[in-house]
Amino acid sequence: MYYVRRIFKRKSFRLFPFLLALLFILAVGSQSYSSPPKSTEILWDTYGVPHIYGKDNKGIFNAFGWAQMHSHGNLLLRLYGQGRGRAAEYWGDKYLDSDRWVLTMGVPERARSWYWAQSPTFRSYLDAFASGINAYAQEHSDLIDDSVEVVLPVKAEDVLAHLMRVIYFTFIVDPDQVASVGVDNKQPKAGSNGWAIAPKHSASGKAMLLANPHLPWSDLFLWYEAQLTSPNINAYGATLVGVPVLAIAFNDNLGWTHTVNAYDGWDVYELKLADQGYRFDDKIYPFETKTLSLKVKQKDGTLSEQPLVIKSSVHGPVVKEKDGKALALRVVGQDRPGVLEQWWDMARSQNLTQFESVLQRLQLPMFTVMYADRDGHIMHLFNGLVPIRSQGDFKYWQGIIPGDTSKTLWTKIHSYRDLPRIVDPASGWLQNANDPPWTTTFPVAIKSDKYPPYMSPHEMNFRAQRSAKMLLKDKKISFKKMIAYKHSTRMELADRLLDDLIPAAQKYGQELAKQAVQILATWDRQTNADSRGAVLFAAWAEEIDLDKVFSKPWNQKFPLTTPDGLANPQSAVATLQSVAAKVKKTYGALDISWGEVYRLKYGNVNLPANGGNGELGIFRTLYFAPLGSEDGHFQAVAGDSFVAAIEFSNPVKAMALTSYGNASQPGSPHIGEQLQMFAHKQLRPVWRDRKDIQAHLAERTAF
């Protein structure tokens, strides 16, 4: 170390980055297990989780591609076909809009350039992942749907195109958000909860982490749970189907989860058209134009072709053109091809210093990072590629931006040190439920006045308030209690409004409204399967305007008790009267149980649900859609998906659940098999040691 210090002190030393990389490799290499396997194998446990043991990293990636095909083959190939922008060519015109979006955003072309921008080593890992996919398809073609085999063979470029479509052009921005900009809030609709608890707030004196993303239970949003082990990695977690590394993970020494942050990484610019071009800084610029051919499969199997003209300004691709104006879309980070390698190295890190050195690459364009480790550190990082903007607050940048001046055109990104971040707060805990970073803990640890006004808004949703209140409730939280809190179905909105609604109904209400509030007065304010009153209150909440119902708006000085009060009690009661009539007509009673109306239906499983809409302030989040032709009944389609509770004791204690099961491939026994535990508010043990895995071994795959 003496010689290393001497070298570092020499200002002329130019190999500093090389040495840092070398030290990182040496450090993470220390996690190797005692007897590295001579070959690669997958041990499948009884819940369909692949525990991959690789003789080297290429072996891991190859086996992980194979495993994903085994569990999600049809879905994976369909997603890759969409990432190519050729889904309409493969499967017909219902994919036309998807192809137009992917091609207009330049996804396939950029994926090719990203492939060659990878380091040679990591490029070989991506090739290995694609090879594993192809090998499975060749060996088990009878298990793959004939309609998706047209995507084969898969290339590493397809993996990157899929990643780009998911992260950049679904999570950061999607077509629906672009269409609603200036009319509706343009923030992502996906959500999550995340907790990091320090030893001082933990009953065991060990740091704990809670990972709890809320995503749709289908398509590109499905989580895949796995363990990856080789001579220099031993990480457990989950990733989205088709992604070759873990996106949420932990190892023996640290772990992290992500939440969708209240962040803006895209903007729509309004262009003034003139002379076949657009005005910019008092000049007229021509559009860059290219024409692609969209192929569309017809019902008779033939292909038709139609042109796709893509126009771009200095801001980005044009997404709409009408009445002498055009809208152009600008999205951050398309010059940052290292997302996957950053996630990979996050999982290989062994302490906070190493972990942050990886985060500082800023390749991951969004997502809050919630972190905890064996050393007792916890961290909240408002991670993202945040544009350096010359003017305006967060609300300003939610609208359509004037595109005729360079004053509004951002070209640079905030550095890592500019991002809101807190390590080891005095409170001993951190939470995020898609609220801005200013409310991650109390007393406030990240002060908004130290950051640009466009960094993040000032608000705290009811789910985040519920989250913070549970953490404030106990001075010392046990691992068991953390899991119990995770399953809390208490409705913060009911706590906030019933004390006003009940007396208002008794004063202004007709007989039916008075009957309704009698039920609400005795309701437990939960959305458990047997809760009576929850259906009625949720139906009322759906009919009111949450932006206008309160007499007191949210106040950052009182973040956990506002908004509050009914702005118009008589109107609220009239709405309750109307809703009560509908509930009684639909279900025959006002006090029907939550689980009778709201169901956990997935595959062949159909169970009573617990949990509900996060906007109601429910930590156990579920979103529902109408259940087939059954009038007034609903099934869960999104919400709690992958859940992991981790305590960094020795050994690490971990429980998890993948709500809908760890497979979607037809015929798999793992489709929906974990919903029974979900319905009973249970997590299952995570098996990480080989002896535990072998004790619950269902199948072995050797390579």
Structural domains of the chain ordered from first start: 2-31 (no CATH), 492-618 (1.10.1400.10)
Mean pLDDT of the chain: 93
Tell me the pLDDT band of 26, cut-offs 50, 70 and 90. Answer: very low
Is residue 443's pLDDT more than 70? yes
Q: What is the mean pLDDT of residues 278-290?
A: 97
Q: What is the pLDDT of residue 189?
A: 60
Q: What is the mean pLDDT of residues 667-671?
A: 96
Residue 416 near residue 473 (C-beta atoms within 8 A): no
Q: What is the mean pLDDT of residues 41-50?
A: 98
Q: What is the mean pLDDT of residues 590-610?
A: 95
Lowest-confidence region among 30-44, 100-114, 356-370, 565-579? 30-44
Summarised one tens digit per residue, pLDDT across range 196-234 is: 999 999 999 999 999 999 999 999 999 999 999 999 999
> Residues of the chain with pLDDT > 90: what percent?
91
Strand extents, DSSP E, 302-461: 303-312, 318-322, 325-331, 368-373, 378-381, 400-402, 421-423, 429-432
Q: What is the mean pLDDT of residues 54-65?
A: 97
Strand extents, DSSP E, 185-265: 191-197, 208-216, 223-230, 233-240, 248-250, 254-259
Q: What is the mean pLDDT of residues 41-45?
A: 98
Q: What is the mean pLDDT of residues 261-282?
A: 96
Q: Who contacts 585 (Cβ-Cβ below 8 Å, separation ≥6)?
A: none
Return the closest-CA partner of residue 662 out of 177, 8, 70.
70
The alpha carbon of 402 is separated from its chain's Cα centroid by a whole number of angstroms, namely 31
Q: What is the pLDDT of residue 631?
A: 83
Q: What is the mean pLDDT of residues 337-356?
A: 98
Q: What is the mean pLDDT of residues 414-434?
A: 98
Q: What is the pLDDT of residue 545?
A: 95
Q: What is the pLDDT of residue 622?
A: 97
Q: What is the pLDDT of residue 424?
A: 98
Q: What is the pLDDT of residue 655?
A: 98
Q: What is the mean pLDDT of residues 324-352?
A: 97
Is residue 155's pLDDT more than 80? yes
C-alpha–C-alpha distance, residues 548 and 619, integer Å:
23
Summarised one tens digit per residue, pLDDT across range 497-555 is: 999 999 999 999 999 999 999 999 999 999 999 999 999 999 999 999 999 999 999 99
Strand extents, DSSP E, 110-149: none
Q: What is the mean pLDDT of residues 485-508?
A: 97
Q: What is the pLDDT of residue 8?
A: 30
> Residues of the chain with pLDDT > 70: what percent?
94
Count CB neighbours of 629 within 10 A. 6
Q: Is 534 exposed, middle or buried (0-12, 13-18, 19+ CB in 10 A)?
A: buried
C-alpha–C-alpha distance, residues 331 and 136, integer Å:
36
Return the closest-CA partner of residue 436 out of 418, 448, 449.
448
C-alpha–C-alpha distance, residues 543 and 150, integer Å:
47
Tell me the pLDDT band of 38, cut-offs 50, 70 and 90. Answer: confident
Residue 611 near residue 491 (C-beta atoms within 8 A): no
Q: What is the mean pLDDT of residues 417-428?
A: 98
Is residue 31's pLDDT more than 60? no
Is residue 653's pLDDT more than 60? yes
Q: What is the pLDDT of residue 4?
A: 30
C-alpha–C-alpha distance, residues 388 and 699, integer Å:
52
